[in-house]
Amino acid sequence: MSDPDTLFASSSVPRHLVRGAVGLPMMVAAFVLIPWVGPWALLLVLPSAFLLRGCPTCWALGLAQTCAVRRGSIRP
């Protein structure tokens, strides 16, 4: 049986948490700011998606993979 995919895993848990701490509020801000900034606010989704490596679910999956790699449950 082959090893599970670790595409979304980061090199460390703290690095992954920092990416989430910056990316998640940025994604929320993109939608909250629409009444004031208009569609231009949606441009915040681009760097947010880059930081999260996709959507918030992708980030959460990556956190789980990073923790599993750190524990030694799966190999990178």
The reported pLDDT for the residue numbered 76 is 63
pLDDT at 25: 97
User: What's the whole-model pTM score?
Assistant: 0.81
CA dist., res. 23 & res. 42, Å (int): 13
pLDDT value of position 18? 95
Integer-rounded Cα Rg, in Å, for the chain is 15
Summarize pLDDT for 15-55 with one digit per residue, the tens: 999 999 999 999 999 999 999 999 999 999 999 999 998 99
The C-alpha atoms of residue 22 and residue 69 are separated, in whole angstroms, by 23
- Is residue 8 within 8 A of residue 53, CB to CB? The reply is yes
Question: Tokens representing 57?
Answer: 């679910």
14, two tokens: 């703290």
